[in-house]
Amino acid sequence: MSSFLDKYKTHGLGFTQVFWGNGKGKTTSALGSALRAVGNNYSVHLVQFMKNGADTLEEQIPGEIKALQNFPKFSYKRFGSDGWVIKKPTENQIKSCQEALEYVKQSLDNYDIVIADEILYAVQLGLLEEEEIIKLINEKPKDKELILTGSHKPFPKIFELADLVTEIKKIKHPYDAGFIARKGLEY
Start-to-end Cα distance in the chain: 39
Q: Quick check: is 183 in a domain?
A: no
User: Rounded to whole angstroms, what are the CA distances from 6 to 10, 15, 97, 113?
Assistant: 6, 12, 34, 20
CB atoms within 10 A of CB 82: 18
Report yes or no: 77 and 48 within 8 Å, Cβ to Cβ. yes
* CATH number of the domain enclosing 134: 3.40.50.300
CB atoms within 10 A of CB 97: 27
Q: Quick check: is 9 in a domain?
A: no
Q: Quick check: is 148 in a domain?
A: yes
Q: Quick check: is 4 in a domain?
A: no
Q: Quick check: is 53 in a domain?
A: yes
Tens digit of pLDDT at every position of the chain (187 positions): 555 555 555 557 999 999 999 999 999 999 999 999 999 999 999 999 987 644 454 556 778 888 898 899 999 999 988 777 878 999 999 999 999 999 999 999 999 999 999 999 999 999 999 999 999 999 999 999 999 999 999 999 999 999 999 999 999 988 888 888 888 777 7
Residue 69: domain span:
14-177
Q: Quick check: is 158 in a domain?
A: yes
Q: Structure pTM?
A: 0.89
Q: Quick check: is 103 in a domain?
A: yes
Query: Structurally, how many domains does the chain consist of?
Result: 1
**How big is the chain by its Cα radius of gyration, in Å?**
16
Q: Quick check: is 43 in a domain?
A: yes
Q: What is the 3-state secondary structure (H, E, C) of the chain?
A: CHHHHHHHHHHCCCCEEEEECCCCCHHHHHHHHHHHHHHCCCCEEEEECCCCCHHHHHHHCCHHHHHHCCCCCEEEEECCCCCCCCCCCCHHHHHHHHHHHHHHHHHCCCCCEEEEECHHHHHHCCCCCHHHHHHHHHHCCCCCEEEEECCCCCCHHHHHHCCEEEECCCCCCHHHHCCCCCCCCCC
